[in-house]
């Protein structure tokens, strides 16, 4: 580790404080990474319960999910996916720059990542107001007008007696608001963390490298959740 | 340091792949593939997730413990999904209901 010193500026790794209960910095680094992964595992299960709810609804009322999905803003959803995936790339670059000791460049990357998080939230908010404006807020749901379904019918979902199953589209919009709302909350927390870290990274010894790494892991996890939310919510029903 | 370290070049390639997969999943979702459409959407999502986990989240460059911990989370999620679907999938199997 010690022969990594390049030039007059110490890099962030070298200025990392070694806590007394660790023998080496590498050990401290591994422990921090592993600890973050334990937290992310609990997050997977936290979101997992809601994904279970989605699975149940889609299993029980596939036609309802497909039909209701067509009423979401697919263009805004797609743009948001692009924004989040790109922000994840910039975040990964930021961690790389921090590891190389280029703290100013890293600070810039983190600030841009936070900014893209804000863009995501603004687009999400716009989408919410559109969906609510169309009357799909659970609890206040207007009945859905069937869209482009050959053969007509009510969302293509049939009850056991062969009749329609009315009202179940509300289940989809519950899932939509809870899943994306919880995800948006995670994005908002990430934006705050990233903005704070970008501010501290202005100075070479402003922040521990492990903190930057773990915030990176958190941001990628938020991206990961969206990677599944997007196709399940927005792309469930074909439109051609 | 672990033997192979990530580079900006690699990350840029991963980002490119993610964008291609995004376009692919949008395109695929617009056609009526029947039951296959969910399978296609999930296959693409899992591929994207794997790219993010392995490269952006450094699992490829990290220790084995991290791989096990990351894998355990999804294993438990799978137990949850499979366990609950056992119930719902088999509810109408018995006659006389």
Asked if the C-beta of A56 comes within 8 angstroms of chain B's C-beta atoms, the answer is yes
What pLDDT does A21 receive?
A: 84
Tokens representing A39 are: 């937290």
Which residues in chain B are closer than 8 Å to A82, comparing Cβ atoms? 19, 22
* B54 inside 8 A of chain A by CB: no
Condensed to tens digits (0 to 9), the pLDDT of residues B5-43 reads: 789 999 999 999 999 999 999 999 988 887 888 999 999
Taking CB atoms within 8 Å and a gap of at least 24, the contacts of B17-24 are B17/B51, B18/A85, B18/A89, B18/B48, B18/B51, B18/B52, B19/A82, B19/A85, B21/B47, B21/B48, B21/B51, B22/A78, B22/A81, B22/A82, B22/A85, B22/B48
The pLDDT of residue B20: 97
| Cα gap A37→B68, rounded to integer Å | 10
B36 touches chain A (CB under 8 A): no
Tell me the C-alpha distance between A92 and B53, whole Å: 11
Amino acid A215: pLDDT:
96
pLDDT at A195: 96
Cβ contact A44–B14 (<8 Å): no
pLDDT at A171: 86
Contact B84/A52, CB-based, under 8 Å? yes
CA angle A185, B6, A204 (to 5 degrees): 70
Q: To which H or E segment does residue B49 belong?
A: helix B36-51
Question: How do the pLDDT tens digits run along chain A, 240 residues long?
Answer: 444 444 344 445 555 778 888 888 888 888 899 999 999 999 999 999 999 999 988 888 878 888 888 889 999 999 999 999 999 999 999 999 998 989 999 999 999 999 999 999 999 999 999 998 888 888 776 555 554 444 444 444 444 443 335 567 788 999 999 999 999 999 999 999 999 999 999 887 778 889 999 999 999 999 999 999 999 999 998 776
What is the reported pLDDT for A42? 94
Residues facing A164 on adjacent strands = A158
The dihedral over CA atoms of B1, B7, B13, B15, expressed in degrees to the nearest 10, equals 80
A173, A71 Cβ separation under 8 angstroms: no
CB contact under 8 A, A78 and B15: no
Do residues A70 and A147 make contact, with C-beta atoms less than 8 angstroms apart? yes
Is B53 in contact with B70 (CB distance < 8 Å)?
yes
CA-to-CA distance for A232 and B85, rounded, in angstroms? 17
């Amino acid at each position: 580790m010690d022969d990594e010193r390049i030039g007059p500026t110490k890099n962030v790794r070298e200025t990392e404080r070694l806590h007394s209960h660790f023998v080496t910095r590498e050990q401290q680094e591994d422990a921090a990474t592993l600890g973050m992964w334990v937290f992310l595992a609990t997050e997977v299960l936290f979101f997992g319960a809601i994904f279970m709810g989605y699975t149940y609804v889609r299993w029980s009322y596939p036609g309802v999910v497909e039909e209701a999905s067509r009423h979401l803003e697919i263009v805004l959803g797609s743009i948001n996916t692009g924004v989040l995936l790109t922000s994840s790339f910039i975040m990964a670059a930021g961690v790389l720059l921090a590891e190389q000791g280029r703290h100013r460049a890293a600070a810039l990357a983190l600030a841009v990542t936070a900014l893209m998080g804000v863009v995501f939230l603004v687009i999400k908010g716009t989408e919410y107001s559109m969906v609510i404006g169309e009357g799909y807020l659970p609890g206040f749901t207007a009945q859905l007008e069937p869209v482009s379904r050959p053969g007509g019918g009510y969302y293509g979902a049939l009850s056991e007696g062969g009749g329609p199953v009315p009202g179940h589209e509300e289940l989809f919009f519950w899932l939509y608001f809870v899943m994306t709302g919880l995800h948006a909350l995670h994005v908002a927390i990430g934006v705050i963390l990233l903005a704070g870290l970008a501010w501290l990274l202005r100075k070479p010894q402003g922040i521990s490298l492990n903190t930057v790494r773990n915030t990176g892991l958190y941001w990628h996890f938020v991206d990961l959740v969206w990677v599944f939310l997007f196709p399940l919510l927005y792309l469930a029903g074909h439109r051609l | 340091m672990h033997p192979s370290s990530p580079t900006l070049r690699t990350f840029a390639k991963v980002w490119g792949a993610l964008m291609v997969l995004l376009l692919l999943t949008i395109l695929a979702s617009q056609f009526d593939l029947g039951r296959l459409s969910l399978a296609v959407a999930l296959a693409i999502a899992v591929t994207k997730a794997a790219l993010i986990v392995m490269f952006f989240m450094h699992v490829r460059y990290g220790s084995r413990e991290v791989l096990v911990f990351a894998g355990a989370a999804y294993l438990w999620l799978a137990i949850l999904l499979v366990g609950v679907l056992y119930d719902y999938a088999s509810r109408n199997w018995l006659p006389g209901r």
